[in-house]
Structure 1
């Protein structure tokens, strides 16, 4: 089995919009089962929405607008990427820094009405969480922070997909023997975000501090605007999360 260290960049926006942000760059490094470098993949993508990069994204990534303008669209790039992945005849394990990369790829596959089954079935390992568990850390750290943690020399440009994938592959090598690969997972759709789930935890703590038994109705009434819970899928997910947190405490 080969290890595929994956990173993506996506476009941003400065204002609220119903249009989604899209992947604008995919970078990946392939390591063999002995953690030896084999090859890599890199491609820019011209998005449908917000195809003119705003100043923040241009400054953050350094991606030239001129290269985005002539890049292939997502269906072509993701097809090329799949073909590159399939060169690993004994299968692959995707490694990402956090869960956002898989979410963004699957979102774009769906936007373009492509078959999503490969990505839903693909095993992946969240290396960020793996590092946090291995080193007993409670707060998220960046790729650059992890490079410093493991005393590795950073190279390339942060926030360019291939350079980030290269640096992440070095972190993976450094922490490999400390990782719990029982934590390999498959993508699962989520309808709430990290901030909303954190709000649930804060609400439980605050209500309990007042010597009141926390209930979902109290949390919903005092900590969430009604429109936030309008999606029944998000509502059900946050209710389940609330129940799990109450049981844990």
Structure 2
């Protein structure tokens, strides 16, 4: 069985009512039996309006050449889910990436059967690195405490995924990975969140028109 360590980067938002959109997926595949990294996955995603702002590109270190490779969200998820294989744990640094995947799949009316066995490894590794850990330990600080030299650039999906994978490999024998599925409650929560965001957007546009 494999562990898939993934990281998402999002389009930068500047106001209420602006929907979150995933613009990059970076992932590493770890063979849990051999305890080694065996593959990588990286893809850029074109937002619904087809435009990736300069501030977003700068933040995630995206080049003009990268823009040309960006594909629609539905196609990106299709490619990612195929790359995952059949038997895997999904691992990420924190809970946000799970919410973003569910949110955008719900909005796009896409199947979530592939999104299974999600594990937030931030808390478990944080507890191993910091005594009485009561806060969310950042990836950069976790790497420092584990004495792991960071690779690549921060806030670039594939580089953050590789660095998170290095942490998982360091503590692989002390981490418990669980099997699970997306619940109806989680889907409902993101459906309501999308509805609220759309209403905020309508209100924002109304206020702009009134000025």
Quickly name the TM-score band, shorter chain normalised.
0.7 to 0.9
SS of match in other structure, 1:177: helix
Render the CA deviation track for 1:78-105: whole Å, top value 9, x for unaligned: 101111112xx5x101110001111111
Alignment partner, residue 62 of structure 1 = 61
Alignment partner, residue 43 of structure 1 = 43
The residue correspondences of 1:104-143 to structure 2 (distance < 5 A) are 104-119=100-115, 122-135=116-129, 136=131, 137-143=133-139
SS of match in other structure, 2:147: coil
- The whole-number CA distance in structure 1 between the counterparts of 2:153 and 2:166 is 15
Larger relative contact order, structure 1 or 2 (CA cutoff 8 Å, min sep 6): 2
Q: Specify every segment of 5 or more residues in structure 2 that has no aligned partner in the other structure, as ranges.
A: 191-195, 197-211
The residue correspondences of 1:1-249 to structure 2 (distance < 5 A) are 1-17=1-17, 19-33=18-32, 34-49=34-49, 51-55=51-55, 57-64=56-63, 67-68=66-67, 70-86=69-85, 89=86, 91-119=87-115, 122-135=116-129, 136=131, 137-181=133-177, 185-188=180-183, 189=186, 191=189
Contact 1:12-1:50 within 8 A present in 2 as well: no
Change in CA separation of 1:65 and 1:103 when aligned onto 2, cut-off 3 Å: farther
SS of match in other structure, 2:109: coil
Paired positions, count: 185
Query: TM-score normalized by structure 1?
Result: 0.67
- The whole-number CA distance in structure 2 between the counterparts of 1:21 and 1:50 is 14
